Each structure stands twice: as structure tokens, then as C-alpha cells.
Amino acid sequence: MEYRKNDIVTLEIVDCGTDGEGIGKADGFTVFVKDAVIGDTVTAKIMKAKKNYGYGRLMEILKPSPYRVEPICPSARQCGGCQLQAVSYEEQKAFKEKKLRGHLERIGGFKELPMEPLIGMDEPYHYRNKAQFPVGRNKEGRIVTGFYAGRTHAIIENRDCALGIPQNKEVLDRVIAHMEKYNIAPYDEMTGKGLVRHIFVRYGFFTGELMVCLIINGQDLPHQKELVEKLGEIPGMTSISLNINKKRNNVILGDKVKTIWGKEYITDKIGDISYEISPLSFFQVNPHQTWKLYSKALEYADLHGEETVWDLYCGIGTISLFLAQKAKFVRGVEIVPAAIEDARRNAHLNEIDNVEFFVGKAEEVLPREYEKNGVYADVIVVDPPRKGCDEMLLKTILKMQPKRVVYVSCDSATLARDLRFLCDNGYELKKVCGVDQFPQTVHVETVVLLQRKNM
């Protein structure tokens, strides 16, 4: 049977796509349905039809899945942030393990996978130490803040995100009240006018320090002294700043930060290592799970105090400093100069001197240092962006022949591709472990151990 746009179909949801959408079939026609859960029986309206598959909108749940739960956030279906909040947490973890296994088998061609159980969270809510809230007006002209609906820039009003910290609401209430009192306009993307673009909050889970940064389309905030007084009443407030962004684009943060009260940074910890975090610093958003992730990477690195380690895509030195506790020497590489400044400062803060940091592309710095300066590595750790490792970098790793490669990945598809390349050229896949850094979403982090063959 041929299905067309606007047809209504009844589906039993039998699988889950990589973006968390339910998958059902009607007479051999596959339909992807956002917000449907494996085990549901639903009716869906076809919104887009191809020859053998289509995309449907969930209309009615005829029979709910045993895995279906009531989302604790009333905006869960509208907001683009959580794709899996209607799924029980045990089933979320099973989905992520299946997604990881599927990519490694299908893309990487690996058959017998040495997978360890996925590391989940005891409390899979309120884990984010960072949130960026866009500010705008609703249809009635009232100032609102919250999150963008999926694939749009329409703001879903929400001041109390289920993934964020309770202090977010206190900050947002005070900033919006200040804007209303002094007639400060939110930024309008269509006209480029208005002042306040985003409200950015950071929190130190282990220190209790709180940072607020207002991203503005101007140089100053009217009556900022009064706002500082209000925000300063919130327990833990440590840093209040303005970030200047006058560009007409979708990039949230500009390059210039003006501290208007307190310190320029907050401090937080991962394990025994302290980190100074500014508004522009990259820092993992789930510190509890980051400690588990890095501990697993450290376990796989198997350091005994005599090893030279390279940490590629090192950011502000989070993994580098973790590794330096057990290694003889660690060299980190990162393309962002400000991140390397943070890394050096964090090394000094922790009195760690067996580290060295390089600014540049990992695929350029590593070959240069290896071929010109003869540096080597016993262990190489990589934590690349979603696109995975550059092929030149992988080829240099093969030339250097470290005993072990520890690959930390935020995208299991590009991970599978890179692992296949390394394992076709002298390495063996020894261990794989998924870590749930982002409960309620489809994302999964992975740590992999590769060992050089014939050791």
C-alpha cells in the first residue's frame, strides 16, 4: 500500500532510531515517529512520505509501552533538549548500549565486542552545571526565557529545567524582573535590536560557586548595580559578568567578557583536580559522570609513573591533568588558544609540573613534534569533536606506535570509523565502555582501549 502526506496510520513501535524517535511499520512502510516509545501502539499522521519510509507526528497513544513514563518536565515534548524523557531510565541505558553496539558492528565491522556495562547515573536529573537561556518576547509581548523548540528559534518558556540546577530559576526570575522594571528590551533576531540576548549560568557542583553572565547586544546594562545587588543575594554567587556580542548570527557568546562583580571565574573539581572556569572556558557539563568517564580513561591508559602520554584535543587540560597524576609526562594539544591558557593556569593551580601544552591542530602538532623533534608516546589519548579524528592524525599515531590508544568519543558513528582504520593497521580493540553523560537525551560518551598487536 502506498502512503501519502496527511494519511493516518496505526503503528506498533518496534524499534528506536538513533535520535530517539520510535520506529513502526504499516504494510512494510517504515514510519519514524518523534515522541513514540518502543512498545507503544499509536496513531500517527504522515508528515513526509518517501518511497519506502516516512516521518509521522504522534497523534494518539492507543496502548502505552511498558517502558513509557510520565516526563517530569511539562515542556518535554515541545522542547528540543530532552528526546528520551518519556522513556524509563533503564530503557534509556539499554537504548544507548544498543546504539553504541550497532555503530561499532555496522560501521566498524566489529563482531565480538569486548563491551563493559554502560555506566549510568544514580540520579539522572539536575546534573547540568551550565545552561544558556535565550531571551525574547512571546506573542503577547511579555519577556520570556527558556529553551528553543527542536530545530527552531521559538522559545519554549521554562525557568526550571529538569536537567539544570535549582538556582537557575532564582537567577532567571531576578534578571527578567530587572528587565521589566527598567524597560530593558530583549534582543530580537529579526530586527537585530534589543539588548539582552542570553542569560548564561554556571555552577560548581563541588564548590557551590555560582556564575552569571549576561550576553548583550551592547556595551553596558542599564542599572547594573541594582541587578548585581539582587543577584548577589543568591547563595554561592561568585562571578557576575557581561559578554558583548553585537554580531547578527546564531553564535551565543562574543569574544569580550567584562566582569562587573566578583571573580572572573568560578572553581570546580573533578576528582582531586581543581579547575578555574571562565564564561568562555569549555568544561564538561556533567561533573559527576565526567569523573567516571575520566577514571575509566585513566584505568584503560594503565599508567605506572614511567609513561609519556599525549592528550590530543585536550581542551582546558581536564584529561591531561587527570593523567598527569599517574604518568611521567603529559603533552596536551588544543586548537583554541584561550583553552590552552586555561590549561596552563589549571596546571599551576594544582601544582602539576609534568605537563606541557601546545596550541594548534592535533593533526599538525603531533606530526611536527614526532618527525622534527623525535618525541614519542607510550600512550596516546584522543577526545575529538563529533567529526572524529583527522586521517593525518590517525596515520601519525600509527607511525608513532604507542603501546595503547585510549579513544574518548562523543559520537559512536565516527568512533567506529576511526577504530576500523586503526585496527586495520596494527591495533586491537581490547575494551569498550559507554558512559551516560547526558541522561534524558540520545547522546552517549564512549571510552575505548586499543592495544598495539604483537606486544
Give the 3-state secondary structure of residue 434. Answer: strand
**Is the CB of residue 55 less than 8 Å from the CB of residue 22?**
no
DSSP assigned state of 334: E
Max CA distance (Å), the chain: 71
- What is the strand order of the sheet 355-359 is part of? 115-119, 427-435, 445-452, 404-409, 379-382, 308-312, 329-334, 355-359
Give the 3-state secondary structure of residue 394. Answer: helix
Catalytic residue among 79, 161, 410, 423: 410
Tell me the DSSP string of 18-73.
TTS-EEEEETTEEEEEET--TT-EEEEEEEEE-SSEEEEEEEEEEE--TTB---SS
**Is the CB of residue 435 less than 8 Å from the CB of residue 389?**
no
410 is catalytic: yes
Is the CA virtual torsion 177, 178, 183, 184 positive or negative? Answer: negative
**Is the CB of residue 326 less than 8 Å from the CB of residue 298?**
yes
Rounded to the nearest 5 percent, the helix, strand and coil shares of the chain are 25, 35, 45
Listed residue (124, 59, 72) closest to 441, CA to CA: 124
Helix (H) or strand (E) holding 117: strand 115-119
For the annotated catalytic residues, the residue numbers are 410
